[in-house]
Amino acid sequence: MKNILFIHQSAELYGSDKTLLLLLKNLDKTKFSSVVVLPFDGPLKAELEKANIKVIIAPVLKLYRKMFSPKNILKFFKEIKEAFKVVDNLNKEHKFDLIYSNTLAVLLGMIYANRRKIKHIWHVHEIIVHPKIIATIFPKLLNKYTALVICNSNSTKKNLIDRITELDQKTVVIYNGLETGNLRITNSSKEKFGFNSDDIIITLVGRISRLKGHKWLLATFINKLSRNQKVKLLFVGSPVIGQEYYLEEIEQIILENEINDKVKIIPFTKELSQIWSVTDIAIMPSSEAESFGLVAVEAMLAQKPVIGSNHGGLTEIILNNETGFLVEPNNENELAEAISKLVESPELRKLYGENGYQRAIDEFSIERYVQNFEKVLLEQ
């Protein structure tokens, strides 16, 4: 039996939260015993506890932009002391064989594992390009303070080993997976979301942030597509706490261009079944490279064609001209052309949706994901 402490930076149910939840729910309980540390209460904690997984709330020493002020540095060292006290008590009880850090945002796992001489695994879900100092420092930390680095795509791995080539020897790629055996699409009506039944709904699911490309999509819609009265946009997601101004900027663009009747925004929901039932085209117009793109797999499982940016992990999920389209980032003409092809052809939407579904089943199942994880965990 391997006793593992899992440390994660959030308690929500976005991409990296979901991948952790699915992993822990499906790990072989006869081989692995899991304890999870989260920084606060939230839906992830509730879901883990439903699966009888022990969850503790404690500081995870999360990296954030303003942490290097004198006040926040002092707070950071106080949190180290508090976190060590909690984890030491857990370690006395469980005698951890491994400490697993989920995302680069958490530093507790690295610091604690090094101090207590426990093997450390770091699961990287980010492609960090800027700030340059952070992009330079993290590969060095990974090289020095981890027994194993797990990346969620080849694009994520490449970003690391291009900076520290030695990381290639201790880095593996494990694609994220989703449960495919109990797919459930709850039928809903487009009218329920404020659309007409014959509208063509283009759906963007994800954080309202700089990365996700809401402004690029809006600009393309306003400049290239708004004459088609049947094409509508649906944004599903909420901003990061403290970054609500991204949402305000999006709302201002919608207001200024008088497209309130054509663009709907609803807050994040963990129940996406009704969203996919009213969606005709899924879109991930990421302005910066996504490390993976779990939403693309979710859309494919719902048999929706997917348009994504031609960089990062999306290039490893979407097959261009087969399950959807890959377009040059921030290129309005390419994005408009891809959208128009799918808008104009129900047959193409159906074909790409069916192709995407089969690809998701074959390549991104929870069974494959967990099997690969169990193999590397048992080797440590």
Question: What residue segments make up the domains of the chain, in order of their start?
Answer: 2-177+365-379, 190-363
- Crossing angle, helix 346-363 and helix 294-301, to 10 degrees? 110
Which pLDDT belongs to residue 65? 61
Cis peptide before 70 (omega within 30 of 0): no
Which pLDDT belongs to residue 14? 82
pLDDT at residue 63 above 90? no
pLDDT per residue as tens digits for the range 168-201: 999 999 999 998 765 566 678 899 989 999 999 9
Which pLDDT belongs to residue 182? 56
- Crossing angle, helix 15-26 and helix 294-301, to 10 degrees? 70
pLDDT at residue 242 above 60? yes
Q: Residue by residue, what is the 3-state secondary structure of 222-276?
A: HHHHCCCCCEEEEEECCCCCCCCHHHHHHHHHHHHCCCCCCEEEECCCCCCHHHH
Which pLDDT belongs to residue 66? 64
% of the chain exceeding 70 in pLDDT: 97
Please, where are the H alpha helices in 305-365?
332-344, 346-363
CA–CA distance from 321 to each of 153, 302, 342, 351, 360 (Å)?
A: 21, 18, 11, 10, 16
Phi, psi dihedral angles at 180 (to 5 degrees) = -115, -10
Region 348-363: mean pLDDT is: 97
Three-state secondary structure call for residue 175: coil
298: exposed, middle or buried (Cβ count in 10 Å: 0-12, 13-18, 19+): buried
Q: How confident is the model at residue 263 (pLDDT cuts 50, 70, 90)?
A: very high
Going by C-alpha positions, the residue among 160, 168, 170, 120 that lies closest to residue 138 is: 160
The fold of the 190-363 domain, in CATH, is Rossmann fold (3.40.50)
Counting every residue written for the chain, the total comes to 380
Region 193-220: mean pLDDT is: 94
pLDDT at residue 45 above 80? yes
Q: How confident is the model at residue 369 (pLDDT cuts 50, 70, 90)?
A: very high
Q: How confident is the model at residue 227 (pLDDT cuts 50, 70, 90)?
A: confident
pLDDT per residue as tens digits for the range 124-155: 999 998 888 888 999 999 999 999 999 999 99
Tell me the average pLDDT of the chain: 93
Q: How confident is the model at residue 269 (pLDDT cuts 50, 70, 90)?
A: confident
% of the chain exceeding 90 in pLDDT: 82
pLDDT per residue as tens digits for the range 289-303: 999 999 999 999 999
Which pLDDT belongs to residue 237? 92
Does CATH place domain 2-177+365-379 in 3.90.1150.10?
A: no
Going by C-alpha positions, the residue among 125, 130, 132, 113 that lies closest to residue 149 is: 125
Q: How confident is the model at residue 62 (pLDDT cuts 50, 70, 90)?
A: confident
Tokens 């009218």 sit at which residue?
191
Region 240-261: mean pLDDT is: 91
pLDDT per residue as tens digits for the range 304-324: 999 999 999 999 999 999 999
Which pLDDT belongs to residue 253? 95
- Please determine whether the domains at 2-177+365-379 and 190-363 fall in the same fold group of CATH: yes
Q: Under a CB-based contact definition with an 8 Å cutoff, are residues 285 and 303 in contact?
A: no
- Cα(59)–Cα(83) distance, rounded to whole angstroms? 5
Which pLDDT belongs to residue 332? 97
